[in-house]
Amino acid sequence: MKIGIIGATGKAGSLIAQEAITRQHEVTGIVRNKAKVTTDMNVLEKDLFDLTTEDVAAFDVIVNAFNAPGDKPELHVTSVKHLASILENTNTRLVMVGGAGSLFTNEAHTEQLKDGADFPDAYKPTAIAMSEALDNLRKETKFDWLYISPAAFFNAEGVKTENYVLTGEEFTTNEKGESVISYLDYAAALLDQIETNKDNHIRISVRY
């Protein structure tokens, strides 16, 4: 497949790119500064907000691993709106690297992880913006999309086990009461979802 990865030099994006290359997909990193690219792949040097329908339509899949600066969380909302506007009526599937803060903590789906008393204040603005972006994405029906939330502890130092569990919209834990996934296993799970192409217009989550 032809896969474009927005934010391919970031923590998640770079590992997703490496996983896709290992699986012999044709990978293009979509980045603002190609000098930061250290992986051997095609590069499109362009800001996310400057991307056009012609740019994205060249790919089977666009992975959005964009990470807004901490002082500009609203970019999570506006970036998804822009991507939706240029993906309309294309055959390109959008796969979003999401957040855990929007996972529901009750069966009625009226409360989210970000609303809990224990949720760190420092991460709330980003979690709120990413939740709003997901709500907007849910309204989109003119292109295929999949939103993948990681576990609450997204472990950058964790190893790759490929022993992950896919869950749905609700926050869940393993038998030890843990909600954790490594970046490497998240990347593997995301590529598995790209290759099976089963789920569209939904949010899923991944943990151990």
pLDDT tens, residue by residue, 26-64 = 999 999 999 999 999 999 999 999 999 999 999 999 999
Q: What's the rounded Cα separation, in Å, for the pair 118 and 72?
A: 23
Type and span of the H or E element at 149: strand 145-149
Q: Is the pLDDT of residue 198 over 90?
A: no
Q: What's the rounded Cα separation, in Å, for the pair 12 and 14?
A: 6
Cβ atoms 157, 181 nearer than 8 A: no
The whole-number pLDDT of residue 16 equals: 98
Q: What's the rounded Cα separation, in Å, for the pair 127 and 93?
A: 24
Residue 7 — very low, low, confident or very high, per pLDDT cuts 50/70/90?
A: very high
Per-chain mean pLDDT for the chain: 97
Residue 104 — very low, low, confident or very high, per pLDDT cuts 50/70/90?
A: very high
Q: Is the pLDDT of residue 144 over 90?
A: yes
